[in-house]
Amino acid sequence: MSKAVEGIWPEFLAIAREEVGSRTVETWFCAMSFVKWDSHTKIVYLSVPNPFVRDWVAARYTPLLEQSLARLLHEHKVNVHLTQSNEHEKHVMVPEIKAGEQPLSVVPAVRAPAKPVRVRRDHHAQTLYRFDNFVVGSHNSLAYAAAQAVADRLGTLYNPFFIYGNSGLGKTHLLHAIGNEVRARHAGCTILYQSANRFVSDFINAIRFDKVYQFELQYRNVDLLLIDDIQFISNKEQTQEFFFHIFNVLHQAHKQIICTSDSLPRDIAGLADRVRSRLESGLVADISEPSFETKVAIIKRKAEQQGSQVNDDVAEYIASLETNNIRDLEGVLIRLFAYASLTKQAPTLEVAQQALVRRAEPKKAVAITLPAIVQKVAAQFSLSVDQLKSKARTKDITHARHVALFLMKKLTSHSLREIGTFLRRRDHTTVIHALEKIEQLRHKDATCDRLIKNIEHELRAS
């Protein structure tokens, strides 16, 4: 075979990437290779690793192969023959797929390989995430209660159990907590935790390397299947089909399935209807955004977990940062501890502020926080932060407190409730009242208006 003809295969791969996307190319075409071109019969011989790949490619990509290869070979028309390399044939375990049959529907009938397959008994080793270190707030109480109930009555209560919520809100933590709880109670249980991303790539590799049988065994022999971030199977048609199959096998055997996702099944684009309806058929629980108080509690708990402690003002400072992503807040805490220990200081509020200002992202460093506002306002009125947070209702203190509440609303994206809580005001109508008061005053009193503008300016500049 001449080098020139052999060279058309990489060219075909490039065209195919354009036409059908690189994932399809990696999955199917990269597992194939160019064998020969017979210019008399106008046949291109390509080798495939197994019948599964052969049938899948033949059913879907014959026109693409024949048209593109004809163009590359400067022929009017070519035929493509997909052949299995003999060497590979010895290891083939996937049976022939009959005409018209969906390839994945044959998976349950896959012939066992001669050698027994070793199934990893316990694929679940994350012990840091437990129920006892999961802080419960109103944003996660349903998911938490349901998770405990599911761990209690595996496979019989809510099956599947589906947890969804934004990134960094504790879905993976809860998923592992269930796994750890089940393992602690039932030593013989087989638990398998897998991120959907890994599920997809393992499945693709299983197909490419003839390990579908082993892959399937790993999943169908578990008592508890934990799939994290199931949204990653969207638009992965074959993986979804396989997941659907595994789901049914486990469900019928009353084995528990738990999935997490960043959104509701119905909002995951590119999910097959039948997969979607299976996922919705049990209990669906959400984790919403944590309140300010819960963020504070989580930060304190995380500090303890690291063998350290932070004072209320430090925890409140971190909780007042704009994000609700607990992972990000933990990052801030770690940074604070590192900074404090490097500079040999205690992790006080000032140190926290310094540590944060020195953060790499300039955008976050200038974010105006609730503690910064309160400090600045207190200083302007020659009061202490404690006085602003106190119950005192003298005219001066009340006015300064109103200014602080006004600026907190104006300069941050915190809710009225969070702002009220920060100044130890139980009722958020206090905040509304303060906002109205200050608005009126600024119209009437130019000095007051200027003072507030000054504070705002200084806060933005710092």
User: Which residues are near ligand ADP by CB under 6 A?
Assistant: 129, 133-135, 140, 165, 167-173, 298, 301, 326-327, 330
Number of residues that bind Mg ion (CB under 5 A): 2
Beta bridge partners of 356: none
Rounded to the nearest whole angstrom, what is the least distance from the CB of residue 224 to ligand ADP in the complex?
18
Q: Which does residue 371 bind out of Mg ion, ligand ADP, none, counting CB within 5 to 8 angstroms by kind?
A: none
Q: How far is Cα 425 from Cα 186, in angstroms, rounded to an integer?
A: 47
Q: Which does residue 159 bind out of ligand ADP, Mg ion, none, counting CB within 5 to 8 angstroms by kind?
A: none
Q: Closer CB to Mg ion, residue 169 or residue 189?
A: 169
Q: Closer CB to ligand ADP, residue 165 or residue 179?
A: 165
**Within 100-129, which residues bind Mg ion (CB under 5 A)?**
none
Indicate the helix (H) or strand (E) that contains 287.
strand 283-287
Q: Which does residue 241 bind out of ligand ADP, Mg ion, none, counting CB within 5 to 8 angstroms by kind?
A: none
Q: Is 369 in the site for Mg ion (CB under 5 A)?
A: no
Half-sphere exposure of 89 (CA within 13 A, CB side): 6
Quick note: the x/- pattern for Mg ion over 35-54, rule CB under 5 A, is --------------------
Q: Is 172 in the site for Mg ion (CB under 5 A)?
A: yes
Residue 114: exposure state from Cβ atoms within 10 A (0-12, 13-18, ≥19): exposed
Closest CA relative to residue 242, chosen from 107, 123, 109:
107
Residue with smallest beta-carbon separation from ligand ADP: 170
Rounded to the nearest whole angstrom, what is the least distance from the CB of residue 426 to ligand ADP in the complex?
23
CA distances in angstroms from 253 to 159, 220, 248, listed in the order given: 11, 10, 8
Q: What are phi and psi of 409, to 5 degrees?
A: -70, -45
* Three-state SS at 21: coil
Rounded to the nearest whole angstrom, what is the least distance from the CB of residue 287 to Mg ion in the complex?
11
Rounded to the nearest whole angstrom, what is the least distance from the CB of residue 362 to Mg ion in the complex?
28
Q: Closer CB to ligand ADP, residue 287 or residue 383?
A: 287
Q: How far is Cα 299 from Cα 116, in angstroms, rounded to an integer?
A: 48
Residue with smallest beta-carbon separation from Mg ion: 172
Question: Are 26 and 187 in contact, with CB atoms under 8 Å apart?
Answer: no
Q: Which does residue 300 bind out of Mg ion, ligand ADP, none, counting CB within 5 to 8 angstroms by kind?
A: none
| Residue 108: cis peptide before it, omega within 30 degrees of 0 | no
Region from 101-109, 120-128, 168-176, 385-393 binding Mg ion, contact rule CB under 5 A: 168-176
CA distances in angstroms from 183 to 42, 178, 188, 250, 410, listed in the order given: 61, 9, 8, 18, 49
Q: Closer CB to ligand ADP, residue 204 or residue 299?
A: 299
Q: Which residues bind Mg ion (CB under 5 A)?
A: 171-172
